[in-house]
Each structure stands twice: as structure tokens, then as C-alpha cells.
Structure 1
């Protein structure tokens, strides 16, 4: 029982900390809940080769062998006999006819080549049967041309960048409109084919170190970070607002002269409502009341005995002094609150009017208030 009370006391003392930690922990669990182990294709899957012999081609497989079960040497020579000579190596699941790639975002290939510059990486997907002049096509290739560089061996290829080649549409007598989007749920295998830029009769060798499919968590991480950012922003804003004094609403009756003329009253009322607009000017009043600048200036001179600019400063300074007396708002906040877009200008106008800068005015007011309390 005492342990329970102790835990309860600790939670009460550290409620804010717990409240901050819990969303982060939930975010981590969301990411972990979407975690997917890499699918290793090599060195795990069954290895087969294919070539152009079915089309009367003569491309030759020179050598294929495993080194220490973790490296695969693949050597070939392209020959004539078929207008598109080709040869490749394919990796298939050892016990299933296909495997599911729908939850993966990329394939990572680690390989080295002697002369290759453009190496097709092909994911063959199960498809309906298509009958051609040569054979029956039961797969749909998703093709990526890997630009090979001598000083780089590992390549991460997004599955979204794989495309069905045009020759497949021609071969199966289909158009892109006829075929549904690729379904990676039923992948037959992954193939690595000969470089498309090699000349005939040139021997080429390739070493394959690893092939694996992986999942990118950038979307999940970005979503969690965005949600947490909004949560913490709202949390700290709430804390800040709680610490502030009760909200003091700005005075609406800010006019500093007695006004009898109705037109003047309307203008003064508008200024009372909009004095905190940094863009408030004679031009704004002209558009709002459809009056000329001369007419507005005349109204201020007649009704208030001053110019528009001076009157606006009087209104803003009256509200600024109230905020300096009644709140703990910073000088910068007050300046922007009453309509000054520049703090330096606010300080200058305030000092000209009151004989001291805003911070000194606040000190004097507080000192006077304290002195009055002592004498009551």
C-alpha cells in the first residue's frame, strides 16, 4: 500500500514530465509497430540463369559460382543471333512460387562489375498469361537501369522508380492503358541482366555481394515528428498562457476629444477599432469612407484640434500606457499590440510624448503605486 502511495505521489509531482514523455513513447511504438525485417534475396534464394537461346540467340554463360557462400561470380559474353542479345541471373524463393514485396520500399544491391555501366535490375511480377508468336508470357518485368560507378558498390533503388519496359508491351501486344498498376504482392523473382552498352563478344564479369529488400520509415518518422511538434507547441503555449495574468481586453473608447460631428464620430470610432493595425493611414481612411485626404485632415483639425497622425499616436500611446501599468507584457509586445511595426519608432514616439522611454515609465508607475500602498 505504501509503495502505491509513493508511486502516486511521484506521478503527481512529475505529471508534466510524464505528460511530455508519453506522446514520445507512443510515437516510438508507432514506428516500431510498422517495422519490417529486411528480406534478404542473396545469399538466401535459389539462383538460376536465362539467355536469348529461345529466340535463336547465342549469348554465352562463361562462369557462375559461389565464393564463401556470400559472393556470387557471374561471367558472360554477348553473342549475335538475336537482335536483342541478353543473358541474366535470377533469384527465386527456395520454397514458394512467389514472395510478397508490397510492404517494402526499396531494393539494396551490392555488386561490382568490370566493364558494365548500365545494369538492368528487374523484378518479375506474376501476371495473366499473354500468348505471343514465340511463347506464353506469365510475368511482368519491373525494370530499373542501374548506372554503375567504379567507386561505388552499394545502390539503394526505390521500388517506385521501377518501370515496365516498352518492349514488354510490344511483345505482349498491350498498351499501358490496358495494364493495371504493378502488384508487388506476387513477385516471382529478381533478376540482374547484362549491361546494355557492352559490345558483342566482349567478356564481362560481375560479383554480387548482397541483395535485400527494405522498408523506409521516413513517412512514419515525418508523421510522428509533425504530430509531436504540434502537440508540444500547443502544450508549451498553454503553459505560457496559464502563467500570464488574466487577459485584459483593450479599451474600445480611446477617443481623446469630444466629438459632435457624425462623420467625425464614424472616423474616430473606426480608429478606436483599428488603431492596432500597423498599416492604418490616411489612405486607408480615404478608401474606407470615400473622402479626400484634405477632407479627413479638415475633420481632425476641426473636431480634435490636431492632425490624423498626432491623433493616432495619442490613441496608441494611451493604450500603451495602460498596458505598461496593468500587464507584464514586454515592450516589444506592447509596441506591436498598439500598432507600431517598429519598436525603435515606438520608443522614440513614447519618449517624445512622455519624456522617458517605456521601460522607465513602467518603473515610475510601479514605484508610485508601491509608495501609495505604503501610505494607505
Structure 2
């Protein structure tokens, strides 16, 4: 059984390690993240660009502050020379060769960043999404432009925006000849993300906006459900394996124990190897013929054989390697194992009494220590073994007396 427990422990440790690795993987998949800044690092590539109302006759100015890859910052000044003055800067996504690409944001639900600006005001964030029915590749004016607004100040504000609640501006629908009720969009082909001024941004004042730590976040609980199913399946499989392997190991252990115990029975020893020492033979025969007596003890053997206590213990130690108590229990439990196998209708308590135990719980305890299982379990294992060995080719075991 020790070998089985060693294998079971190894299997358990392996299962726990696999579960831990699966948990890390699936939890990571459940909460995916994608860092957009810094650009050209961590799999995110792109370049910055600027826009202003100059193309519509306005006079607002915008200038990228620097070309830092870990932040998008631009200086601006709105001038009221057009009906709707505005400036903006964007991050356009590229591939390794600098060609525009579309990113799939469908598994992300929110976007976070730190926004600094002066003066403190409300600003706009907009994404450009390619629509096969409406958009022309590279012509961002034809892309679907859902947007939202956020606040910022000079100290820097952490911002979290829900990507599922962006709104497409009303002016875009007539420009693209689309129904105003068509507010749905998909985030599977995002070409760029843009930050710009809003109607609340002060005019004729020098200002700036800086965006950093731009990151996408998602949640997909299907991975947790899959993790639960996989872990549950693994533990069920482990439980089935453990039960079957334990049964086989226990059956082999019981069989080995019985084969080991039977030669220790005194009358078999005497039959196979007759003792020249009559005193030794007398001691062993007396114990073998009286072990079913619940009152049998060392003093009883002394009185019944005439040998002293030292001689009795010396005989048992030298011939069998046991003390009187351990040998007596070995005889009784070996006979109990035979009776459990052959007397299938006899109660465990009856068998305990037959082999010399008046205390049934004590008998159960000793039996389990000897054979590794309770008497009832032993009986079932013995029946299972007999079924496996049919047709039997050996005669029933002989009684001890």
C-alpha cells in the first residue's frame, strides 16, 4: 500500500500543479489587457497625427508637444473663426512596415488612461471603426466614429470609459446617408483612437492635453466557466482513478498479507518443520489450540505448558520474531480472515467471538491495522478476488484448529 500512497500523492501534486497553471492561464484570459502606450512596444505599433478646424476655415492651432512613445501630448489654442472650432490628435495603428492596420477590440469592454490638461475642462475621445459597407480603406472620414467625453486637469486624472456606451455624433449620419437610429457599432476593426477638444473647451487660451497609460481591459467569464468544468472533470477523474487503484492495491495487499500470515500459524510450522525441542513444540501447540479462548494470556500458557515466561518469549522471538501478544493477535486475525471469506453469512461480531475477541470494536481496530481495511471491506475484497480467480483451482484453507 505504501507504493500506492506514494503514487497517489504524486498524482495529487501533479493535479494541483496543473490546476494552478490552468487557473493562471484562464484567469489571464478572463481579464485580458492590451497596452496601447507606449507605441512600438509590447506588440502595439502606431504613429501620432493632428487635426484642426483649419480645413473648414477655422484658425485654431495644434502642435504635438514631442514624439514621446509613452504619451500623447499636444499644445493647442482654439480660435472662434469657425462655427465649431476644434483640434485633436490621434494614435493611428500600424503594422511592422508602417502600413495602417485594424485592431480587434471586441474582447475589451473598457479603456483606461491618465489625462492631464490645462486649463481643466472636458475633452473628447473617439475611435474610428472600419465598416465594410460604408468605409473606404484609409479614408477615415468614412469610418464609424463613436465617441464620448471625459474630464481632466493639470494634476492628472485617471479615466475609465465604457467602450460599449460610445455614441456616434448626429452629424455623421446625414453625411454618410445613414439612418439616425443606427447607433450600433462593432469594435472588431478599430483603425485609430483620437483625443480632442469639446464644446466646453475654453477659447483663445493656450492649453495642452496629455494622455498616458492608455490600456484596454476586458472580461470574458466563459473562461472561468471552462476552468471550473476542466478542474471538476480532473478531480472526478482523479477520484475514479483513486478508488479503482486503491481497490486493486488493497486487494493485492490483503492477498499478500494472508500469504505472509498463514505460514506463521503454529500448527503449520510444526507440520512442515517438526521441532526436536519438545518444550518449544509444547508451547507452540498450546497457543495454537487455545488462541480462541478470550481469557488466554501469558500466565495461562505458563500454567498450561509448565514453561516459564522467559522461555515462552524466547521461543516466540527466536522462531517467529514476535512477542506473545503480537503472535496471539496474528493467529486470531488470520483465522478471522479465513472465516470472513468462508462464512459469508456470519456477522463480524460472531467471527470476533469465534477467534477469541469479546470486544468487537477492539477486534475491528486490530483487523484494520493488520489488513489495512475493516472486516466488512475485507469480506467484499475477498469475494471480489474469488470471482477473479474462478474457476478455483485450490482447496479451501484449513482451519487453525
What TM-score does the superposition give when structure 2 sets the normalisation length?
0.47
Q: Which one has a larger percent strand, Structure 1 or Structure 2?
A: 1
* Rg (Cα) greater in structure: 2
Q: What is the TM-score with the length of structure 1 in the denominator? A: 0.50
